[in-house]
């Protein structure tokens, strides 16, 4: 006789049916739940505290919260920041208070807690402090950016890592053999190399791997096959994309890696992260804009051609789209990674902006002001200005182009690389003319 629970479980996805119920069944996160780890020993002793579980999708955040509830015999309540509001939060707190009257703890699991605004996050604080709930929040985003300090001070943060391919492959093998919760009764074989391919494509996400296995088995059954072959997995994969959360933590990690590979003069590294971002669905125009930034920030005047090449790549992507545009961006990325590097302009510009923010608004010297009216001329606007083209080398030696209070300031220091070597030589020559001009003026003084 088939019970109601069995019928309900039969309709669940494979990932839900294979959800572990103990820490021994839990896959991955050995740095937290290995046999000798303090956190595991604490949980097995029945001690569970409020925590934030930070990690990518499919690493078992929800599962872990459910397991912890079973270890301390606590009521498990779950709310989602995407689907829930104040009403659902109050209802969960009321249930927790009711259980507390009978001496039973409640684990309140908040999925995607980063999606709650700061005031909504504050709503949990009194109930964490007075012990009404043991709070477990799950997030794929960096808690230090997305959660307020008050909540972080009351809940310890644990980082969950992507699950290793070998662990995912073992999980898939178990699901194939498990006749109760898994696919054992279907009698569909999956060769080891196919399981390995599924594990690699899952990209550290156990749920994704189990979903893929289930789809492949269903496709094989529908075609009357007794084995999942290359053709079946090819159908199931389609245009599978690796983990890439637009606007999320992984997004910024990868663009950071691309930028640093360019700065570090690694064409291979830069092209790899560029391809990874495309593989994950990133808009090539976003990368094109960032490449323009790299050209100015990290190459600058050491090779001014880099900026033009970056702009050309952006233009090709805009005009032609993919794949021609992506190849042009790749060309620009490789060029800039190999180009001489200078952040001299970047440093000088930032230093000047900081100084402007910290100092008074200095007046423009009178000799640098235009004098389009008679009154302005009477006020001395433009007097003693020397037109550079009237002088040798088009340079009015000794002229000052800064506010008087800053006339001796100096920010731009060319680096001894690329074109900036010649720029430095030119500035040194002009400085010599300035010094000679000052010396002549000094000699003429009575």
3.30.70.980, 1.10.10.10, 3.40.30.10, 3.40.50.300: CATH of 29-159: 3.40.50.300
In DSSP terms, 108 is beta-bridged to 77, 135
H-type alpha helices, 295-343: 305-320, 324-338
Query: Contact 216/236 with Cβ under 8 angstroms?
Result: yes
**What's the topology of domain 165-237?**
Helicase, Ruva Protein; domain 3 (1.10.8)
SS3 content of the chain, % helix, strand, coil (to 5): 60, 5, 35
| Two tokens, residue 310 | 């970056």
1.10.405, 2.60.40, 1.10.3710, 1.10.357: CATH of 365-444: 1.10.3710
Pick from 409, 394, 432: which is nearest to 358 by CA? 409
Task: Show me where the domains of the chain are located.
Answer: 29-159, 165-237, 249-338, 365-444
| Two tokens, residue 365 | 């010297």
CA distances from 397 to 33, 392, 393, 434, 440 (A): 72, 9, 10, 5, 11
Q: Which helix (DSSP H) or strand (DSSP E) does residue 136 occupy?
A: strand 134-139
In this structure, the strands spanning 75-80 and 156-159 are unpaired
Query: Contact 224/231 with Cβ under 8 angstroms?
Result: no
For 57-99, what is each residue's pLDDT tens digit? 888 888 889 888 888 888 898 888 877 777 788 888 888 888 8
Query: Contact 36/42 with Cβ under 8 angstroms?
Result: no
In DSSP terms, 157 is beta-bridged to 52
| Two tokens, residue 364 | 């423009």
Distance of alpha carbon 343 from alpha carbon 423, whole angstroms: 14
335: exposed, middle or buried (C-beta count within 10 Å: 0-12, 13-18, 19+)?
Answer: buried
Please list the ranges in the chain whose pLDDT falls under 50. 1-9, 239, 241, 246-247, 442-446
Distance of alpha carbon 427 from alpha carbon 425, whole angstroms: 6
Distance of alpha carbon 170 from alpha carbon 155, whole angstroms: 33
What's this model's pTM, rounded to 2 decimal places? 0.56
Pick from 254, 138, 190, 255: which is nearest to 14 by CA? 190
In DSSP terms, 107 is beta-bridged to 76, 134
Pick from 22, 40, 50, 232: which is nearest to 130 by CA? 50
SS3 track for 65-120: HHHHHHHCCCEEEEEECCCCCHHHHHHHHHHHHHHHHCCCCEEEEEECHHHCCHHH
CATH (residue range 249-338):
1.20.272.10
Secondary structure letter of residue 297 according to DSSP: I
**59 by DSSP, 3-state: which?**
coil
**54 by DSSP, 3-state: which?**
strand
């Amino acid at each position: 006789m088939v019970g109601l629970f069995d019928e309900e479980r039969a309709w669940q996805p494979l990932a839900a049916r294979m959800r572990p119920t103990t820490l021994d069944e839990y896959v991955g996160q050995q740095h937290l739940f290995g046999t000798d780890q303090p956190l595991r020993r604490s949980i097995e002793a029945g001690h569970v505290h409020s925590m934030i579980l930070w990690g990518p999708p499919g690493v078992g955040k929800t599962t872990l919260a459910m397991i912890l509830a079973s270890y301390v015999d606590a009521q498990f309540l779950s709310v989602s920041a995407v689907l829930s509001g104040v009403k659902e939060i109050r209802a969960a707190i009321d249930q927790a208070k009711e259980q507390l009257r009978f001496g039973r703890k409640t684990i309140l699991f908040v999925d995607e807690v980063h999606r709650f605004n700061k005031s909504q996050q504050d709503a949990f604080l009194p109930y964490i402090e007075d012990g009404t709930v043991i709070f477990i929040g799950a997030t794929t985003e960096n808690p230090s950016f997305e959660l307020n300090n008050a909540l972080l001070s009351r809940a310890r943060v644990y980082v969950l890592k992507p699950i290793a391919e070998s662990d995912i492959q073992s999980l898939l093998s178990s699901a194939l053999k498990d006749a109760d919760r898994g696919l054992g009764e279907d009698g569909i074989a999956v060769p080891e190399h196919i399981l390995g391919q599924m594990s690699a494509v899952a990209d550290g996400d156990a749920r994704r791997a189990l979903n893929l296995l289930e789809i492949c088995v269903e496709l094989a059954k529908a075609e009357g096959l007794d084995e999942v072959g290359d053709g079946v997995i090819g159908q199931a994969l389609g245009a599978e994309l690796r983990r890439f959360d637009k606007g999320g933590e992984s997004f910024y990690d990868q663009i950071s890696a691309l930028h640093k590979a360019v700065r570090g003069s690694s064409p291979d590294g830069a092209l790899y992260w560029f391809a990874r971002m495309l593989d994950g669905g990133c808009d090539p125009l976003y990368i094109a804009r960032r490449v323009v930034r790299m050209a100015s920030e990290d190459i600058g005047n050491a090779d001014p051609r880099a900026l033009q090449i970056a702009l050309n790549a952006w233009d090709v992507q805009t005009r032609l789209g993919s794949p021609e545009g992506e190849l042009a961006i790749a060309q620009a990325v490789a060029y800039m990674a190999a180009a001489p590097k200078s952040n001299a302009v970047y440093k000088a510009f930032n230093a000047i902006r900081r100084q402007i923010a910290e100092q008074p608004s200095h007046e423009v010297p009178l000799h640098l002001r235009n004098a389009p009216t008679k009154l302005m001329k009477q006020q001395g606007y433009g007097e003693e200005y020397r037109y550079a083209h009237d002088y040798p080398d088009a340079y009015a030696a000794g002229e000052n182009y800064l506010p008087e209070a800053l006339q001796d300031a100096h920010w731009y220091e060319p680096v001894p690389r690329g074109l900036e070597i010649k720029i430095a030589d030119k500035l040194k020559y002009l400085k010599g003319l300035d010094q000679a001009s000052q010396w002549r003026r000094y000699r003429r003084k009575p």
